[in-house]
Amino acid sequence: MSTPTLAQSSFKEQQLKFERVRTAYDQKWDILKKELSKENINGAFNMYITAYKSEGKLEIWLKNKPQKKYKLFKTYNFSAHSGTLGPKVKQGDLQTPEGFYNINVFNPKSNYYLSLGINYPNNVDLLRSGRENPGNDIYIHGDQVTIGCIPLTDEKIKEVYLLAVEARSNGQEHIPVHIFPFKMTEANLRKYTIQYPKQIAFWKNLQPGYTYFEKHNTLPSIDQEKGSYLIKK
């Protein structure tokens, strides 16, 4: 049986067997290391990803392993949009999900250059979809097209993918990805629920997760029960 250290290092080694990952390291890693050092992110770090559909922004938050609080490292623009505000309900609805997820797939041979899959659908999504097929295969990926994923262009996904590989290879088994319809301030909630009144209950269920992180820069504990998220502060 391999030790955890060997198992972790072998993840990066496995990824480096793929040409696109090697190319990304050759092109981006030295620059990223300098940027990490400038932010005092040294050695092993944890990663948190949050995305805002209305703003079309994906944020990368990092923290050194011993630290509790995350700091914003980079913000990327979506390269394309799909669907409207509101959660994904069924296959083919072109919606980008909204909710609390983790990265569960690293795809170094994606049709969209490199891609990071999230664990959609979760139990909240499944209950919302009822008898409908909720769909799957939701990724953060390269290129500039989407039918419900989050695209960032090939150049930007190289950076995000490498940061995720580094976090995973240094022991972060679960990299959280929180996808919100918008920055969930009270003003924005009032504004958007006028346009999308059917989403009021769901968005109010998401909001405490957003608010907790905004206040503390640490992640709340999030459970799922009876089709809703339970945010433990």
Catalytic positions, written as ranges: 141, 149
- Which of the 8 DSSP states describes residue 198? G
Question: What 3-state DSSP class applies to 47?
Answer: strand
Q: Name every residue whose Cβ is closer than 8 Å to that of residue 220 and which is 6 or more positions away in sequence.
A: 208, 209, 212, 213, 231, 232, 233
Q: Around 2, how many Cα atoms within 13 Å sit in the side-chain half-sphere?
A: 8
Residue 214: which of 226, 203, 223, 206 has the closest Cα?
A: 206
Alpha-carbon distance 96 to 140, whole Å? 11
The pair of structure tokens assigned to 105 is: 């797939």
Alpha-carbon distance 45 to 216, whole Å? 18
Identify whether the C-beta of residue 24 lies closer than 8 Å to the C-beta of residue 32: no
Q: Which residue intervals of the chain are DSSP H helices?
A: 4-15, 19-24, 30-38, 123-129, 154-169, 186-195, 200-216
